[in-house]
Amino acid sequence: MTLIDGNLISNQIKEEVKEKVSQLVQAGHKQPHLAAILVGNDGASQTYVGHKVKSCEQVGFKSTLIRCEDTITENELIQQIHQLNNNPYIDGFIVQLPLPKHIDADKILLEIDASKDVDGFHPINFGRMCLNLPAYIPATPMGIMTLIERYKIETAGKHCVVIGRSNIVGRPMSVLMSRSGIDCTVTLCHSRTKNLKEECLRADIIIAALGKPQFVTKDMVKPGAVIIDVGITRLEDASKKSGYRIVGDVDFEGVKDQCSFITPVPGGVGPMTVVSLLLNTLQASQKLIYNN
């Protein structure tokens, strides 16, 4: 079994991005600049945004964190987004999800200028991705594709089962795995799928993105399958300083000797999400996807 080391690959990519930024700056270009809007005080969201800001510093990007009270109205948040859309010094920005219940996230995401939508959540980017046109690819699926590429995992003609159909992970993942050049036959499973175990047992590649800790067990995995674990769940753990531990959607200990490749949690897909955001921002700063 080969452990897919997301920390190692993400550090390599950060070095590559840092080198590219230094070349751009030496050639007289400005530093790429990512902004993030964080609404409220959700612990996990603060941690994720913190990682994104720190990663920007590591590679030589500028970053701007805009914090809003969780009492902000939908209209006020839209104003904030319009300001970033019109700010020529910001190359790309994200609105950290989830948003408070009184704000309609779909409505908010529609307000982001597609050319600055480095999370790739806007329907224009999603549509362009489906049509194989230049687009910002959502960060987590893009990170998984990078791991598959860098570990030279065979995909052509393989059967890939994606568990979870969310707009940010499962559904885009199913699109990317079926693309020409990757050439998997994809089955997209969700909470209403019947015979999930049988579907998984037919899979050469399982991508688990359902948010249910240790859901995928050894009896669901064909010997030699590739396992990509996207899940991140915080479980209470008094033995940890933080009071919790992070668990994925796969029973790692049970599955690891059954498969050919596996991503650990933490240290697998998670770090790749952040570097994909950096790569999208680098593309935005060079106007490689949209040239306006």
Please identify every residue annotated as catalytic. 52, 96, 119
Stretch that binds ligand NAD, among 18-26, 83-91, 162-170, 218-226 (CB under 6 A): 162-170
Stretch that binds ligand NAD, among 27-35, 88-96, 106-114, 224-232 (CB under 6 A): 224-232
Q: What is the DSSP string of 50-79?
A: HHHHHHHHHHT-EEEEEEE-TT--HHHHHH
Using the rule CB under 6 A, which residue among 32, 141, 231, 264 binds ligand NAD?
Answer: 231
Task: Give me the least distance between CB of 116 and ligand NAD, in Å please.
Answer: 21
Q: In the beta sheet, which residues pair with residue 39?
A: 68
Neighbours of 213 (CB within 10 A): 17
Tokens of residue 9, six digits: 């690959």
Stretch that binds ligand NAD, among 14-22, 149-157, 205-213, 250-258 (CB under 6 A): 205-213
Smaller CB separation from ligand NAD, 211 or 254: 211
Does residue number 273 form part of the binding site for ligand NAD (CB under 6 A)? Answer: yes
Max Cα-Cα span within the chain: 58
Which residue's C-beta sits nearest to ligand NAD? 166
What are phi and psi for residue 189, nearest 5 degrees?
Answer: -105, 155
Does residue number 262 form part of the binding site for ligand NAD (CB under 6 A)? Answer: no
Do residues 207 and 230 touch, judged by C-beta distance below 8 A? yes
Smaller CB separation from ligand NAD, 232 or 262: 232
Let me know if 194 is exposed, middle or buried by CB neighbors in 10 A (0-12, 13-18, 19+).
exposed
Between strands 233-236 and 244-247, the pairing is: antiparallel
Task: Name every residue whose Cβ is closer than 8 Å to that of residue 158 and which is 6 or more positions away in sequence.
Answer: 183, 184, 185, 204, 205
Stretch that binds ligand NAD, among 17-25, 165-173, 255-263, 278-286 (CB under 6 A): 165-173
Say how far apart CA 223 and CA 204 lie, in whole Å.
Answer: 9
Say how far apart CA 41 and CA 39 lie, in whole Å.
Answer: 7
Does residue number 166 form part of the binding site for ligand NAD (CB under 6 A)? Answer: yes
Smaller CB separation from ligand NAD, 190 or 222: 190
104 conformational bin, left if phi > 0, alpha if psi -120 to 50, beta if neither:
beta
Does residue number 266 form part of the binding site for ligand NAD (CB under 6 A)? Answer: no
Using the rule CB under 6 A, which residue among 212, 234, 245, 256 binds ligand NAD?
Answer: 212
Smaller CB separation from ligand NAD, 17 or 206: 206
Binding site for ligand NAD (CB under 6 A): 140, 163-166, 168-170, 189-191, 193, 196, 209-212, 230-233, 269-270, 273
